[in-house]
């Protein structure tokens, strides 16, 4: 092994150790944030149920319809979810001059309730029923070789939008903006969580900024789950 090869090998090892340390710190920070977000969503959902129960006592006509919608004949919640994964075969990065790019999904065979949801054109999740929904989204990124310079920090922009006939234009449901260090083999996930009221026949889409498309890890840890309560 030549002297230059030894130097390059040592530098590569140093970069990998640095990336590992920063990755561990980043994962710990994301885990803390996710726990806080989950606790907030649970608290918000419980508060919503308390409000609904109070409102039911005040309005008898609304009470009967709402109880039927929230419970089965046995009195248990009618909760259902859809679970989607990113589809690598359909998410080729576009070279057009667009600032945003749609995420395309593959529906899991066990994860789509056709009475509540329908995935159309791989990128639009149609919600049939008005109600409360919890949205959980995760987009995973990875810095591969020759993707960027160490002095550059990509800005990761992720959003979930909704479109309805009552709206003049598409609206943001939840958004996130994070920076990512350009370190070889660095991995990072952007996670979004929110409880939201959706109208019937609402279309949901997930978008990212186009210039970070090449960093997305389409094969692992990129998924969307929407739960109806």
Distance CA 60, CA 117 (A): 30
Q: Which of 8-17, 27-36, 131-140, 176-185 has the highest mean pLDDT?
A: 131-140
Domains and CATH numbers, the chain: 3-228 (2.60.120.40)
Distance CA 155, CA 175 (A): 13
Return the pLDDT at 71. Answer: 43
Q: How many CB atoms are closer than 10 A to CB 120?
A: 9
In contact, 138 and 85? CB cutoff 8 Å: no
The whole-model pTM stands at: 0.67
Secondary structure percentages of the chain, helix, strand, coil, to 5 = 35, 35, 30
Distance CA 211, CA 199 (A): 32
In DSSP terms, 212 is beta-bridged to: none
Distance CA 6, CA 8 (A): 5
User: With 70 as the cut, is the pLDDT of residue 141 above it?
Assistant: yes
In contact, 10 and 2? CB cutoff 8 Å: no
Please report, for residues 18, 60, 80, 185, 215, the alpha-carbon distance to residue 12 in angstroms, rounded to integers and kept in the order given: 10, 70, 48, 11, 20
pLDDT digits (tens, 9 = 90+) for 142-200: 998 877 776 678 999 999 999 999 988 999 999 999 999 988 889 999 999 999 999 99
Task: Characterise 71 by phi-psi region: left (phi > 0), alpha (psi -120 to 50), beta (else).
Answer: beta
In contact, 175 and 158? CB cutoff 8 Å: yes
SS (H, E, C) 127-191: ECCCEEEEEEEEEEEECCCCCCCCCCCCEEEEEEEEECCCCCCCEEEEEEEEECCCCCCCEEEEE
Mean pLDDT confidence for 48-63: 47
Mean model confidence pLDDT for the chain: 78
pLDDT digits (tens, 9 = 90+) for 191-225: 999 999 999 999 999 999 999 999 999 998 899 99
- Which pLDDT band, with edges at 50, 70 and 90, does 7 fall under? very low
Residue 161: which of 209, 205, 196 has the closest Cα? Answer: 205
Mean pLDDT confidence for 28-44: 65
Return the pLDDT at 112. Answer: 54
- Which pLDDT band, with edges at 50, 70 and 90, does 118 fall under? very high
């Amino acid at each position: 092994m030549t002297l230059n090869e030894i130097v390059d090998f040592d530098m590569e090892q140093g970069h990998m150790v640095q990336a590992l340390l920063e990755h561990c710190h980043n994962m710990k920070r994301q885990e803390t944030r996710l726990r806080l977000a989950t606790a907030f969503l649970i608290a918000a959902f419980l508060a919503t149920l308390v409000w609904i129960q109070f409102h039911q006592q005040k309005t008898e006509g609304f009470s009967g319809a709402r109880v039927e919608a929230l419970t089965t004949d046995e009195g248990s919640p009618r909760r259902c979810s859809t679970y989607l994964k990113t589809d690598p075969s359909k998410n080729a990065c576009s070279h057009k001059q667009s600032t945003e790019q749609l995420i395309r999904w593959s529906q899991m065979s066990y994860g789509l309730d056709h009475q509540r949801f329908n995935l159309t054109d791989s990128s639009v999740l149609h919600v049939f029923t008005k109600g409360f929904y919890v949205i959980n989204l995760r987009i995973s990124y990875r810095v591969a070789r020759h993707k960027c310079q160490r002095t550059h920090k990509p800005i990761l922009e992720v959003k979930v939008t909704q479109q309805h006939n009552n709206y003049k234009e598409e609206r943001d449901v939840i958004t996130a903006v994070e920076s990512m260090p350009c370190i070889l083999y660095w991995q990072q996930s952007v996670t979004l969580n929110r409880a939201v009221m959706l109208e019937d026949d609402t279309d949901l889409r997930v978008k990212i900024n186009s210039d970070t498309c090449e960093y997305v890890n389409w094969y692992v840890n990129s998924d969307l789950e929407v739960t109806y309560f």
